[in-house]
A and B are shown apart, each in its own frame.
Chain A
């Protein structure tokens, strides 16, 4: 059972259908990637989970029962359109936002002091937000999202606008919070972060869920059973000097590029990996590496969005 389950959610704005029977299952304690091109319906989905927008039909379940306004306090949301009150002091502002998430004044102060220490920004407490640089403000923004120890964090494009140092800081914090048991929904265009962080994904396109499931399974499914072998051919000496040759019924060679003696071969296989490897080993090559070729999320994304399923 997922922490969040969306069941057959439909949302229309006037004549425009923003979400068309969208169903999602976000497993607890995992990082869930919500992918899709601009205007596909990601933000609407997130707003419905946050109860900012009410769907025309369908239900959202939180821990197995219909979500309520009280559950929203267990969510930390960092929207894509983010910002802080510019004229307010950092500490005062964080206190305000933390209390709105249901924390008592005391708890909020303690937790915030903790986070400020962790990020090394204790001296900013009495600064006004307008005195902060963009990167500094982003750290504050991240703290306001997580200070109330949410069970679920929804991060919409969390890395956009962050400089590499802060992006890395946020990435580490996301992983740390996950280890502490939080569930995270990551809505992003950044496919590298999806490959690295997300165990599960859903791809939304044109208001519908195009594909959803475990990331590795999806990648494997859209892979073409290719393997990559890197080996070295020595021109002189006693070492092996022959190139790889295909083995009928086990593997064929799609390509074999020679780069100054270092060969990279792409194999199309028709037997399990181990048998293929045994067949290669019997050819007595100087092998550098051998790996399964997975399609990049980026390619799957483009393929699904441009060609349809």
Chain B
């Protein structure tokens, strides 16, 4: 094998892929999308403050109107003495946005019905608020009907408010508060990213092999280089493309978030981060400052313990280990699937023909993907354990298990098995590839591939 040849192949593979418009688009667009996903909800919440709606209320029950208080969302006009239909007809004229028509109380079922009419659809948030007001009015009415004094206080006193805190124990038996949600999300994200990366980039190797066959440039190539050199060069070239894209994503996302943070006022974020609750809110993906303040306040009052747990969890996760294991398993998994798909690609002349053959190769990958979805429910179940050890699914399942903590021996065993499997399959793939690239004119079958394997 000649290193120089492999270098030239890698160079071509890398440069043509990196110079492609689609590569540039994906590389620059994904961080923008990613940053947008993190920033937009905040901006939307800030921007979504609607002006107060003017609501005409025709209250035939007599219990609803008194509960409706003007606030930022809406102001109310009592039109109870009017006919709903006439109000409906003149809604625009009267300068009103919504008509709320409440039926008389049904004393038998002790409830009422209500309808709203408006030119524009009512926002979800306001609809929920309205629903709450109506429910509360009917509940109060029912409580008063029982005739029991102080019942309302008794009921509110009885409402329970238990909070379950989850702690993880480290080797020394120290308890640490943790959030299962964080582990879950992280597990899912790692599994999905690993699946996507492996499927996407090993697929690129296959299409690159097919391209050389269908354009007939292959025979010129293998009269200059060994088929194994060509295959290795391709797989490494695409791997470098993957790493380039990965690094670019991280750098660009950081860059964009930095700019957004700077514009919105990053200093304030830092100030607020001093308080644990606030920093928790920021950690959950709200970098905008005003928004951070707002949501922090909301969340803090709602469930302060939970936020602390999220922060502690995020802080306690061993990011270095996760990144290292991710890179090792992604690279090994990619190498395994890329070499198998290179062999498949060598057997066909067009992408259409490849589907049937490649399905058998990508099915285990898909199974790994599904196991990963199950893993966050039961990270140490038999399925997840074996899924993370067996080489074809391990690049995905192991990463999905990782946030929940995996013993080092399991990671090592899995990685070694994956490496050995890769070596065996790369060797088999190279044999198929060598024969396959020279086969033209006839659609290859599994039987052909088997015969090529046995050819000297």
Contacts and interface: CB of A to CB of B under 8 A. Distances in A.
B223 A85 contact: no
Nearest to A105: B8
A165 to B, nearest CB: 22
A52 B223 contact: yes
Nearest to A56: B456
Interface in B188-214: 211-212
A75 B5 CA distance: 16
A93 to B, nearest CB: 9
A296 to B, nearest CB: 31
Contacts of B224: 72-73, 97, 100-101
Contacts of A72: 223-224
Interface in B6-40: 8-9, 12, 16
Interface in B202-248: 211-212, 215-217, 219-226
B223 A77 contact: yes
B2 interface: yes
Shortest Cβ-Cβ A-B pairs, 5 listed: A83-B216, A100-B224, A79-B219, A77-B223, A83-B215
B451 interface: yes
Interface range on chain B (Cβ under 8 Å from partner): 20 to 34
8 contacts: A50-B223, A53-B438, A69-B226, A75-B223, A77-B220, A83-B220, A100-B5, A100-B8
Interface of A: 13-14, 47, 50, 52-53, 56, 69, 72-73, 75, 77-79, 81-88, 96-97, 99-101, 144-145
Interface of B: 2, 5, 8-9, 12, 16, 211-212, 215-217, 219-226, 438, 440, 451, 455-456
Contact of B451 (A14, A88, A97): A14
A86 B211 CA distance: 9
Given A13-B455, A87-B16, A99-B8, A81 B223 contact: no
A144 B223 contact: no
Given A13-B455, A83-B217, A85-B211, 4 more contacts: A52-B219, A77-B219, A82-B219, A100-B5
Nearest to B7: A99
Contact of B220 (A14, A79, A88, A99): A79
A83 B440 CA distance: 13
Contacts of B16: 85, 87-88
Contacts of A50: 223
A70 to B, nearest CB: 9
Contacts of B2: 69
A75 B455 CA distance: 26
Contacts of A81: 216, 219, 440
A53 B219 CA distance: 11
Given A69-B2, A86-B215, A14 B455 contact: yes
B396 to A, nearest CB: 32
Given A82-B220, A85-B215, A100 B455 contact: no
B12 A96 contact: yes
A99 B5 CA distance: 8
B215 A84 contact: yes
Contacts of A75: 223
Nearest to A50: B223
A87 B438 CA distance: 22
B454 to A, nearest CB: 9
Given A69-B2, A100-B5, A84 B217 contact: yes
A85 B211 CA distance: 8
A42 to B, nearest CB: 14
Contacts of A13: 455
Given A14-B455, A69-B2, A96 B220 contact: no
Contacts of A14: 451, 455
Nearest to B9: A100
A29 B293 CA distance: 85
B189 to A, nearest CB: 34
B58 to A, nearest CB: 69
Contacts of A85: 16, 211-212, 215, 217
A82 B438 CA distance: 12
